[in-house]
Chain A
Amino acid sequence: MIPTIKFDEDWSYSFLDSLENNRGLNNWSKYNMALQAGKKRLIDNFHELEATKHLPHLEIFPHQYETAQKVINEMNGKAVLADEVGLGKTIEAGLILKEYMIRGLVKKVLILVPASLVTQWCRELNEKFFIPAIEQRKRPAWEQIDITVTSIDTAKREPHASVIQNIDYDFIIVDEAHKLKNKETKNYQFVRSLKKKFCLLLTATPVQNRLSEVFHLISLLKPGYLGDESSFEKNYKEEKDHEQLNELIQKVMIRNRRTDSGMDWPKRKVQTVPITFSPEERELYEAVSELKNKYRGFAQGISFTTLTLQREVCSSREAAFMTLKNLMEQYGDHPEISQDLNDIAEKINAVKTNSKAEQVLSLIQGTDDKLIIFTEYRATQLYLQWFLGQHGIKSVPFRGGFKRSKKDWMKQLFQNQVQVLIATEAGGEGINLQFCHRMINYDLPWNPMRIEQRIGRIHRLGQEKDVEIYNFAVQDTVEDHILKLLYKKIGLFEGVIGKLDDILEKFSDNQLEDHVSNILLHSESEGEIRVKMDNLSSILAK
């Protein structure tokens, strides 16, 4: 075929005008310089990666280079980038964007990232890629600004949403795209409604629980690539069809793993730190466990909450207290339960020490190395900050709910002045803390992907030391079970996230978390829990 040919008539008009009016006519030297400058912009090939020539100061790893090339040349600029945490997805996305921009194929760009990462994305694009990305906050100018970074929560709200939906974007990047797995959500529908030519979806955890999540993710990129929804479910119900599905997925998704990145990664040194409760803590824990057994079958609600309570007691009495208070309100008119709850409240009061916190202290003292503590509970976070302060150790908190500027500030403080950062789960995503190489999992989440996200904060490109991970688990408690099941048997900490994909695929229809809580809830004895957990882990480890 012969494609349509467009000719630059504007130049002709202005030239004829210059000649006629004898103005804007330049000398030989300026003419030559203009020609040289103009020629420098030309790229006489379709497929080579030019971006690297423009980025001499950026260290690009081989897997990043190959990813960028593959996305542009084989995937037509529509891909899910699903590298393991810490392999530099942002760099890959930046390279791809830069390449399209240099070639003049992309001008209008929208980058949707979690609110906490907006500033960081902007900074990286500007400093590392010389891409003039601009943060959009209070009074955004969607139409005027070519390269916009914003949070999906801002973008999907009116009056912004309808403006954004009307813009023809050349390129859209969505970071932490696993949040778009549910097609019923407003976020999903919003991204679906955008006009885009090229698109990158970034996520470290493409499949969390269900296969259909992949379907929805890929349908954002290439509708129809995996068929329509009903045929997808029909076709890939059977395990034997999964190989074919995997092949299809690999054509739109790139997943680099640490093990095959060919790089010399710092090691992960994982240590389980067994904690022994003080007699008072033990008494409290046993009282809660008893409550669980006593009311099993009485009301699903209370026995489920006691499971939460058990986990909280393992963290701090402060964490348990809030839950207990709620329970007391809920069952205020039930004399027997009320009495039991009051007993527990007394036992909480009797607890004077926190065995885990003491352990933290002994890990901190005697070294100036930075340390991150992850906990699931905000009450524990506050307590720890107070506790460390009592011992003359300064720390900063970090939470998902912090404003962006505050997060940046906390990170700065941690990097430059303070030895300890205490983060709750929500603070785990997207902050890069590779200047620190020690981490305590003060309590363990039940979703292994969350652990991977946590470790990824420090075990990433740029980390120069071996990473030390301390897992706290109180002996003879639920924590012990979780640790044995999820983390020891599967060998998760040793960084076999590849395996994790398989594991989660096996649980495509049932959440792993549900399994675990069912076992813990419905077992009559410790022995039964152990047998059931062993069963589960042998399925996992297969």
Chain B
Amino acid sequence: MNQAEIHDYLKNFFIENESTILEESDGHLHIQLSIDMDKALMNRPFYWHYTEKIGAVPNPMKLTLITDSNLAPEDIKGELIHFGSPRLHQIFQTAQELGRHALLYESVQPNGASLPMKPWLILNGSVSYCCDHKKDQFFSIGLSLITGEMINDIHSQIKNKRFQEQIPNYCFTMTPIIKPQAGLERIKRYLMGQEKLKEHKWADDALSRMKKDEALLEAFYDGEEEKTETYDQEKEAIKAQYEPFINISIINGGMFYFSNHPSDNQNMVY
């Protein structure tokens, strides 16, 4: 993410979360936080507890974020934001919590006749290979809850569509044949199945590193009558360090209703 992208992201984030941009240049944002954003970002639980207890008028804080000090006004004071800054990660964290689940309908305007919308379950997440190293791979999978069809990398296919939270006029939803819970199970089985088909050289390598250290440990304690507590502990630690496993985690996901097939990017006119 470059600084300009960060700038846009932050602006969207605050607008989307009911905070007002009071002042802006290409290099900075001056924001009046909403009450919720103050609570989420400013770390002052006592103030909020107190204010709410006595029923005082809440006074959420203002925040100045500098995304590019060359483009910001010279005398501006604020927090410098870059990819590694704790503030940005706090905002990312908040954004993730605020967008974990969705139930959305494609925005369509049918011409009179009523239009059926078909349910899809979409999961975004990562498959992480973990040992003493780690590597993440992104996935975005859509499953039709009517036909059971599965689409890989579905997000890139739907990202330019528009969605709304209420069902559009003249539309009706089709009842899923596959229940959401079973859908989740299918996606999980699919992801796990994919991994079982692959060669995991990284895991073999990690195991051989683990064996090496274990052998050294054995040699170190060799000849001692009774293995000490330290031995067990060190053996545990070696296992914890190297033992390979795969972790599938979900960033977010949702139930989406589409009028057409999600891959169909032509705007149909009814």
Contacts and interface: CB of A to CB of B under 8 A. Distances in A.
B237 A196 contact: yes
In this complex, the member of A41, A72, A219 whose beta carbon has the largest number of chain B beta carbons within 10 angstroms is A41
B181 A25 contact: no
B245 A34 contact: no
B216 A168 contact: no
Given A32-B159, A76-B209, A105-B130, A2 B83 contact: no
B236 interface: yes
Contacts of B93: 37
Nearest to A15: B101
Contacts of B83: 53-54, 56
Contacts of A77: 132, 241
A28 B136 contact: no
B131 to A, nearest CB: 8
Contact of A33 (B16, B103, B209, B245): B16
A125 to B, nearest CB: 12
B103 A25 contact: yes
A352 interface: no
Given A7-B248, A39-B138, A56-B83, A18 B200 contact: no
B125 interface: yes
Nearest to A6: B247
A493 B136 CA distance: 50
Contacts of B242: 76
B253 interface: yes
Given A33-B95, A104-B134, A38 B103 contact: no
Nearest to B219: A224
A1 B200 contact: yes
A28 B252 contact: no
A2 B101 contact: no
A2 B196 contact: yes
Contacts of B26: none
Contact of B245 (A6, A16, A22): A6
A201 to B, nearest CB: 16
Interface in A189-203: 192-193, 195-198
B216 A47 contact: no
Interface string A75-105: 0110000000000000000000000000111
Interface in A1-59: 1-8, 11-12, 14-16, 18-19, 22, 24-47, 53-57
A42 B126 contact: yes
B266 interface: no
B34 to A, nearest CB: 14
Interface size class of A (residues with CB under 8 A): 35 or more
Contacts of B97: 34
Contacts of A57: 82
Contacts of A35: 99, 124, 155, 251-252
Interface string B134-148: 111110000000000
B211 to A, nearest CB: 12
In this complex, the member of A5, A18, A29 whose beta carbon has the largest number of chain B beta carbons within 10 angstroms is A5
Contacts of A297: none
B223 A40 contact: no
Contact of B181 (A16, A44, A198): A16
B164 interface: yes
A33 B9 CA distance: 8
Contact of A27 (B102, B188, B200, B245): B102
A130 interface: yes
B48 interface: no
Nearest to B192: A5
A515 to B, nearest CB: 34
Nearest to A51: B84
Contact of A24 (B100, B126, B164, B255): B100
A28 B155 CA distance: 12
B253 A7 contact: no
A225 B219 CA distance: 9
B37 interface: no
Interface in B192-246: 192, 195-196, 200, 202-204, 207, 209, 213, 215-223, 230, 233-234, 236-237, 240-242, 244-246
22 contacts: A1-B203, A5-B245, A5-B246, A8-B247, A11-B249, A11-B250, A12-B184, A18-B101, A19-B103, A24-B100, A25-B102, A33-B13, A38-B125, A38-B251, A39-B251, A45-B135, A46-B129, A53-B83, A53-B84, A103-B133, A197-B132, A222-B216
Interface of B: 1, 9, 12-13, 16, 82-86, 91-93, 95-104, 124-126, 129-130, 132-138, 155, 159, 162-165, 180-181, 184, 188, 191-192, 195-196, 200, 202-204, 207, 209, 213, 215-223, 230, 233-234, 236-237, 240-242, 244-255
